[in-house]
Structure 1
Amino acid sequence: MKRSFLVIICGIALIPLQGKSQSTIDEVLSEVSKNNKTIQANEEYIKAQKVQYKTGISLYNPTLEYDYLKGSPANAGNQTDFTISQSFDFPTAYSKKNQLANEQITQADIQYKLITQNLLFEVKKICIELVYRNKLQNPLTKRKAATERWLSNFQRRLKNGDGNILDVNKAEVQLIEIKKEHQENLSEIVRLNEKLTGLNGGNPLVFKDTVYFDFPAIPDFETLEKEIEDSDPMRKFLEQEKLITQKQMEVSKALTLPKMEVGYHYQGILGQTYNGIHTGISLPLWESKNTVKLQKARMSFAEMSLTDHKNDHYYEIKQLYGKYENLKSILNDYQKSTVMNDNIMLLDKALSLGQISSLEYFVELNYYNNTVNSYLKTEKEYFEVISELLKYKL
């Protein structure tokens, strides 16, 4: 009889791996994306960055110069000089600056996508943890109710003279542990919901669902890895950084070419006036020294950073995929085990019929509880890995 109960409580009331709907988590993600202060602040920051990138790529301000010189002695006459001029870089520099600004704006959009994706992924992880905690609360409540029931029963039997103090003590100790676990789980649910509220811009948000999310069939590793890499915003950000460095190098080279100045010059002296074209050219001797060399060094760094990220990301995905396959196998093993809808009820019946002692009851109850806890934790880890593999879809 004892062995049969060990077999029975190995089975747990398994919950399907995929929920019927992912709308609830999607609604949370949608709500946070609208209300989150970090996302809103970054949106404004990116707008400001785009304006900044387009600033300073036009012509320099024109220059006005006026000189009035008194002659000496008094009959020497006075001199008046007036010059209006416009200086500009070598013409090719402007197209290069404009190209650079466009690439920087593209990178700003990628940066915004990266920040938003990371934040929504954090929200999704909190939702997964809450689903786990909400699901765990149900068996914890049942365990607490069952133990309270038996403690009351043992106390009544002791009072009537057909019980013993050892049964009461076992039940009291068991109830203390269950109450502790029950309260800790409730506190964690409150904490996680408060965190969601904070990420939702302070707007109250309570997530009570006990269903995870639907997801498409996970393809083989090579296919999935390619999909992730093609959509990876960090890779795109680093690729854009490399392209920006290339454009900065082109701008630096263009700026090493001579700057020019054209304008109008008027001069009046001794009753005579002179006017005509004013021109000038700067000699690129010292101002741009080492700028191209600096951009080449930055280009080398950008290339190495991109290569390093691709390598690290590949093995990170590979590790996650291996963990996904392992957890999937473990959950399949749980599904193949004996499934019982209410093992606590069976244990209660066996104890009430005297088929097992109170000690055996609590040992078997703990065994069952540990099995349920292990399953729920494995299920949570499974969905955490899947959400990380599918992060690129956020």
Structure 2
Amino acid sequence: MKSLIGITTILTISLSAQAQNFDQLLNSVLSNNQAVASSRYANESELLNLKSENNLPDPEVEVEYQWGRHEVGDKFDINVSQGFDWPGVYRARGKAIATASRAMEFLDRSNYIDKKLEIKLLFIDIINARKNISLLKSRIGIMDELIDKYTHGQERGELTILDINKIKIERAKLNNSLSSIESDYEMLCSTLVGENGGKECNSLIEQLNEYPDDMILPVDNYEMMLTENNPMNNYSSLMSQSQAQMVQAEKLSRLPGFTLGYHHSWEDGDVFNGLVVGMTLPFFSTRHKVKAAKAMQQSLAYQEESVASQLHATMMGNRNKALSLHRQLDSYGKALGNDDNARLLKMALDGGQISILDYLGEMAYFLEARQDYLDLQYRYNQALAELNKYTLVTE
């Protein structure tokens, strides 16, 4: 019993360390990723543009100089004025902008999570490629041993030239498959370098040997994460609130605007100082603006509901897909057993129980079965990564 507890404890610690290492690798790439920073600055620029719309118009300075007849003299005027909307407009816009600013923080977080998932899926692609490369290299190694054994070793002459050629042809097929996967692998590694800000990441790639130890959680957990951990929910909600506040600002903007100014005049040796007060009646400039703001508010409200329903449907679809792949993996894993088929086939060949043609056929069959199993593992971990997307928010 103590031994079982000890093994369980060691396994738990090992899985925890593996998960921690995987997260550290993710965070390492994210810290160098330029797309995350670019997205953040783009959102900041959009917010600053929004804030600039709530600024006062620029003050105006007018200078007027008129020449008169000699007996009349010249005339000189200067005006300095400042226009502004109805005072309540700025406060209403300020509230809308403040709400939008909070929304942008959640949009930044959402973009961060999306990029983190994208890099995680890239890691999974690389792990899958490495596993397939390892499998093919092991099979090629077996073919090389056979070729060496039956052409140079003690068993030389036991097989015909045709049999040896069959082994060489099978090896060539495996080598072609390996070259194709290695080409894809190099492309994946180059993509990772790009995600890593162009920095070399060979040491990081060497650590990508096993998939992350994600698991399928109960439906309630995912529904809670969609509500609490999904930044897009908060973003959509806050943008809807911001637009409602902007509707109020547009309503207030239909009220008169004002201009206040100082007027200085010099005429015929006399100096005059005074105030200038003006009023702007926005009959034309605000036409349709309230309707447009209300339409945008309604659009955001529908978008908020649509996003929530789509995310829930996607979550359920990913979870069902992951469960199905998990069942297939379990069934396939039991059928493959400990994958000792290569050794058993070798023993049968050496014992004369099967021909080289049978051996090659059986080896190809079990290779395909192992590749199918690796593909199931790959697709299962892809589905898990998509399913557990919002667990990344706490990492």
Per the normalisation by structure 1, the TM-score is 0.86
Given residue 223 of structure 2, which amino acid in structure 1 is its aligned partner? E
Distance 1:19 1:86 in 2: 65
2:18 is paired with a residue whose SS is coil
Partner of 1:352: 350
Residues 258-291 of structure 1, C-alpha deviations (whole Å, 9 max, x = no match): 0012233334444544433321111121111111
Over aligned residue pairs, what C-alpha RMSD do you find? 2.7
Q: Which segment is superposed worse, 87-96 or 134-143? A: 134-143
Pairwise CA distance, 1:317: 1.3
Distance 2:341 2:19 in 1: 30
Gaps of 5+ in 2: 1-11
**C-alpha spacing 1:348/1:91, structure 2 compared with 1 (3 Å):** same
Distance 1:41 1:160 in 2: 65
Q: How does 1:135-214 map to 2 (within 5 A)?
A: 135-155=131-151, 161-206=157-202, 207-208=205-206, 209-214=208-213
Distance 2:321 2:385 in 1: 13
**C-alpha spacing 1:373/1:159, structure 2 compared with 1 (3 Å):** closer
Q: How does 1:275-286 map to 2 (within 5 A)?
A: 275-286=273-284
Distance 1:314 1:291 in 2: 35
Distance 1:369 1:230 in 2: 45
**C-alpha spacing 1:19/1:61, structure 2 compared with 1 (3 Å):** closer
Given residue 121 of structure 2, which amino acid in structure 1 is its aligned partner? K
1:186 is paired with a residue whose SS is helix
Q: Is the 8 A contact 2:143 2:171 kept in 1?
A: yes
Distance 2:144 2:338 in 1: 22
Partner of 1:64: 61
Distance 1:298 1:179 in 2: 59
Q: Aligned match of 1:127 in 90, 109, 123?
A: 123
Pairwise CA distance, 1:161: 4.9
Partner of 2:237: 239
Q: Does 1:53 align with 2:53?
A: no
Partner of 2:36: 39
Given residue 209 of structure 2, which amino acid in structure 1 is its aligned partner? T
Distance 1:127 1:195 in 2: 10
Count of residue correspondences:
377
Q: How does 1:257-276 map to 2 (within 5 A)?
A: 257-276=255-274
Identity fraction in percent: 23
Q: Aligned match of 2:18 in 17, 21, 30?
A: 21
Pairwise CA distance, 1:197: 0.7
**C-alpha spacing 1:183/1:19, structure 2 compared with 1 (3 Å):** farther
Distance 1:186 1:266 in 2: 82
Partner of 1:91: 87
Q: Is the 8 A contact 1:64 1:84 kept in 2?
A: yes
Q: Is the 8 A contact 2:226 2:311 kept in 1?
A: no
Residues 221-280 of structure 1, C-alpha deviations (whole Å, 9 max, x = no match): 243133124322333333333233223222211211100122333344445444333211
**C-alpha spacing 1:338/1:311, structure 2 compared with 1 (3 Å):** closer
Q: Which segment is superposed worse, 308-317 or 201-210? A: 308-317
1:288 is paired with a residue whose SS is coil
Q: Is the 8 A contact 1:88 1:261 kept in 2?
A: yes
Pairwise CA distance, 1:346: 1.7
Distance 1:252 1:131 in 2: 54
Q: Does 1:30 align with 2:27?
A: yes
Given residue 107 of structure 1, which amino acid in structure 2 is its aligned partner? A
Which structure has more relative contact order (CA 8 Å, sep 6+)? It is 1
